[in-house]
């Protein structure tokens, strides 16, 4: 017998968690974009730093929202997130390697590293949450 | 009614299985490719970087176009059990190929642009085209990471359960196929940009 039970927490559409993570990703891309469009000239860093700060606040909000979510399939969330983390670690590691190899230093390198770290945290949370939000309520 | 049909299809489909999503040979292959990419970057080999960029880009663009415009419409026309079996096999292979192709394309492309002095020549005529390529990549990244891959993972996870949620699988497959189509359109614009840069 196959059933289609109610999902956890009724949070399968328009979740604030997903909205925060999408906001973070867009903020990170804007922060990196400001630096990239100015190449080879040095970019004014205040714009990138502002977007990175927005992304950091949204990330904190996402973590708080996930921690407060009950009931929530934490086991499933971490089962997915840990492998996605490994994949994104390789991806961001390649990015960091390329930036360091190309001689990027100073404030720019710090901002780009923070952007990569935010990606590293947010993408696993998004993929893990996407799966965990559809876990069923235990009978 | 449609829920009943989907549930019957799931009951007929192969049952849940344990083990990793991605086959171990796939992880080993990906690791070998990434090590080769790191060595190529460290050696500043133009041939190697071109090879990785062309091969990775060709794979990435072809997969997006084929998924969006050929496989997608075919899957939509299949009956539900066939669609589920096909999706299960396809998604697993996609998890092996696509992420590595994306990493190779982007990393080697960035290095090629650097070696071609596209980042050191102030306001070069190609600057606008490079920016356009970066904007398309940003859009591709947002769509792939926010919509396409989560749908892929949800389908894979659901298909491994003893009692998969048919409606959820159907919804996620729809999302996967639509976003693959959007990626296909974006990839067409990327082809135009890359051909323009290559024939400058």
Tell me whether residues B38 and A94 touch, CB distance under 8 A: yes
Number of domains making up chain B: 1
Banded pLDDT at B37 (limits 50, 70, 90): very high
Instruction: Please say if the pLDDT value at position B10 is more than 60.
Output: no
pLDDT digits 0-9 by tens, B95-144? 888 888 988 998 898 888 888 877 766 667 777 888 888 889 889 888 88
Rg over CA atoms, chain A? 18
What does each C-alpha distance from B169 to A4, A5, B20, B158, B161 come to in angstroms?
11, 14, 19, 7, 12
Alpha helices in chain A (DSSP H): 16-38, 45-68, 74-101, 106-132
Range of the domain at B169: 22-198
Partner residue opposite A26 with nearest CB, options B42, B142, B153: B142
Which residues of chain A does B121 touch, with a Cβ-Cβ cutoff of 8 Å?
40
Query: Is residue B70 assigned to a domain?
Result: yes
Query: Is residue B1 assigned to a domain?
Result: no
Query: Is residue B5 assigned to a domain?
Result: no
The more confidently predicted of residues A128 and A102 is A128
Across A72-76, A79-83, B105-109, B158-162, least confident range: B158-162
Query: Is residue B37 assigned to a domain?
Result: yes
Q: How confident is the model at residue A37, as a pLDDT?
A: 79
> What DSSP state is assigned to residue A136?
B
Interface size, chain A vs chain B, as Cβ–Cβ contacts under 8 Å = 89
Closest-CA residue of chain B to A100: B42
ipTM surpasses cut 0.90: no
Residues of B with CB under 8 A from a CB of A: 3, 7-8, 10-11, 21, 34, 37-38, 41-42, 99, 103, 107, 110-111, 114, 119-122, 131, 134-135, 138, 141-142, 145-146, 149-151, 153-154, 157-158, 163-168
Query: Is residue B122 assigned to a domain?
Result: yes
- The CB-based long-range contact list for A59-63 (8 Å cut-off, 24+ gap) reads A59/A20, A59/A24, A59/A118, A59/A121, A59/A122, A61/A20, A62/A17, A62/A20, A62/A21, A62/A24, A62/A122, A62/A125, A63/A125
Query: Is residue B2 assigned to a domain?
Result: no
pLDDT digits 0-9 by tens, A120-129? 999 999 999 9
Query: Is residue B147 assigned to a domain?
Result: yes
Query: Is residue B4 assigned to a domain?
Result: no
Instruction: Please say if the pLDDT value at position A2 is more than 80.
Output: no
Tell me whether residues B153 and A37 touch, CB distance under 8 A: no
Q: Identify from A62, A80, A94 which residue to disrupt to test chain B contact, counting B C-beta atoms within 10 A and taking the largest count.
A: A94
């Amino acid at each position: 017998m196959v059933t289609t039970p109610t999902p956890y927490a009724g949070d399968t559409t328009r979740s604030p968690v997903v909205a925060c993570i999408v906001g973070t990703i867009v903020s990170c891309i804007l922060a990196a974009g400001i630096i990239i469009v100015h190449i080879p000239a040095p970019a004014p860093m205040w714009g990138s730093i502002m977007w990175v700060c927005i992304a950091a606040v949204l990330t904190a909000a996402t973590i708080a929202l996930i921690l407060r979510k009950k009931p929530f399939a934490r086991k499933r969330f971490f089962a997915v997130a840990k492998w996605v983390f490994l994949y994104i670690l390789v991806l961001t590691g390649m990015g960091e390697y390329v930036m360091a190899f190309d001689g990027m230093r100073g404030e720019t390198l710090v901002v780009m590293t923070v952007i990569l770290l935010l990606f590293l945290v947010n993408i696993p949370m998004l993929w893990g949450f996407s799966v965990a939000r559809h876990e069923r309520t235990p009978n | 009614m449609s829920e009943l049909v989907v549930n019957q299809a799931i009951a007929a489909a192969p049952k849940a299985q344990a083990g990793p999503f991605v086959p171990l040979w796939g992880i080993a292959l990906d690791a070998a490719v990434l090590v080769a990419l790191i060595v190529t970057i460290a050696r500043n080999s133009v041939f190697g970087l071109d090879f990785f960029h062309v091969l990775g880009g060709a794979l990435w663009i072809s997969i997006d176009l084929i998924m969006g415009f050929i496989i997608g419409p075919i899957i939509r026309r299949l009956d539900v059990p066939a669609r589920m079996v096909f999706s299960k096999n396809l998604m697993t292979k996609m998890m092996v190929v696509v992420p590595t192709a994306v990493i190779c394309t982007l990393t080697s492309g960035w290095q090629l642009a650097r070696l071609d002095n596209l980042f050191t020549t102030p306001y070069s005529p190609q600057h606008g085209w490079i920016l356009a390529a970066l904007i398309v990549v940003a859009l591709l990244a947002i769509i792939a990471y926010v919509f396409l891959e989560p749908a892929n993972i949800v389908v894979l996870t659901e298909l491994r359960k003893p009692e998969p949620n048919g409606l959820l699988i159907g919804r996620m497959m729809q999302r996967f196929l639509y976003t693959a189509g959007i990626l296909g359109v974006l990839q067409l614009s990327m082809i135009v940009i890359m051909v323009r840069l290559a024939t400058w």
